[in-house]
Amino acid sequence: MAKKDKILMWDETVFRDPEVFELDYVPETFIHRDSQVQSLKYVVQPAMRGMRPLNALCLGAPATGKTTAIIKIFEEIEKHTDSVATVYINCQLNSTRYVVFSQIFQKLFGYAPPSSGVSFKKIFNEIAKHLIDKGTAMVIALDDINYLFHDNEANEVLYSLLRAHEEHPGVKLGVIGVLSDVGVAYNFDQRVNSIFLPEEIHFPLYSRKEIREILKNRTQIGFYPGVMDDDVLEMIASRVEAAGDLRVGVDALKRAGLNAEMRASKKISADDVKKAAEKSSQVHMRQAVQALSDNEKLILRLMAENKGEALRAGDLYEKFKADSKLGYTVFHEMLNKLDSIRIINTDFTGKGDRGRSRKVSLRYDAKEILKLLGR
């Protein structure tokens, strides 16, 4: 092939469908989550038959397919029936009971309720009346429900939703919660636990083989044929496995394609991937740190202020306790979480005061962590 055949003209591109490489893209073909999708179908099936749907809690690390699975199920419901209303709510953006119910109201009526001067009870009553009058069941997905844990909002939201049929007989409503707060047990108060009783649906991290197949599928749809060779794709899959976050791979594909275009090349090279990798790895860091609690961020800050050097867990706890006053058990759970979402490394070494001692270290540059934390 002549060299000029490998060069992009000014109006050419390696991207057949650029949207495929956006982080919020919902793939038409959703692979490696068949059992989870079937579990969600089991939960919503009663609503399709005129009964009250079951409740569910989707559990797993970020970027393991929880949101996509729910969106795919909701799309299927809306395509096949008008008797079930589906409402997806991002609790990171809608983190109070009033705002959550305002979102439900807007989905049902097509317009938002007044932002002031209308009580929660009135909005709630209008929602319930609409569902009863229309004979409609409703399934509500509360994504990132951990953002409702502050100020007891999660309990208030769930209690109001799950008791709706008692105050308004005839309401048929189910809740699907999505919790990415891995490593920490979810805790609702007793009045919620007694009625929530969710089906737990677990979303494990993707295996190396699954990562490769998912990314391969994206490249086949998003790039023109011949743009990316398998060995180059394997480099990205390896980095995704290390990060434990599929979003790293999707972002790396996009950046690598742009790098190839900057060279006016029709083919993505290993160097294009290497240049993309540093920025793409920060996708995981930013997303993961943003979702942490204040005390989890405190642990990261203390580690970063130590110039990112490894610390004994006991020494880190003494620094942490001075600012937080929390016990070692809670601290231990938070370390496990930070390790499980690939923000820190924890390695057992020798013996310590509490049995085997752990050394903890950051997976990312300390200066970048501090910058992200606003320090």
Residue 14: inside a domain: no
Query: What is the rounded distance in angstroms from the CA atom of residue 248 to the CA atom of residue 236?
Result: 8
Query: What is the rounded distance in angstroms from the CA atom of residue 181 to the CA atom of residue 193?
Result: 18
Residues 92, 178 share a domain: yes
Residues 310, 212 share a domain: no
Residue 172: inside a domain: yes
Residue that finishes a domain, picked among 180, 203, 226: 203
Residue 144: inside a domain: yes
Residue that finishes a domain, picked among 270, 289, 308: 289
In terms of phi and psi (left: phi > 0; alpha: psi -120 to 50; beta: otherwise), the region of 152 is left
Residues 230, 116 share a domain: no
Residue 357: inside a domain: yes
Residues 257, 340 share a domain: no
* Strand duo 199-203 + 56-60: pairing: parallel
Residues 148, 121 share a domain: yes
Tens digit of each residue's pLDDT (9 = 90 or more) over 10-55: 678 999 999 999 999 999 999 999 999 999 999 999 999 999 999 9
Question: Which CATH number belongs to the domain containing residue 93 in this structure?
Answer: 3.40.50.300
Residue 80: inside a domain: yes
Q: Which domain holds residue 237?
A: 208-289
C-alpha dist (Å) from residue 242 to 18, 205, 235, 281, 353: 25, 11, 11, 10, 31
Residue 68: inside a domain: yes
Which regions in the chain score pLDDT beneath 70?
A: 1-5, 10, 181-185, 349-356, 375
312 beta partners? 359
Count structural domains, the chain. Answer: 3
Tens digit of each residue's pLDDT (9 = 90 or more) over 63-116: 899 999 999 999 999 999 999 999 999 998 898 999 999 999 999 999 999 877
The DSSP secondary-structure symbol of 206 reads P
In the chain, % of residues over pLDDT 90 = 69
Question: Which CATH number belongs to the domain containing residue 350 in this structure?
Answer: 1.10.10.10
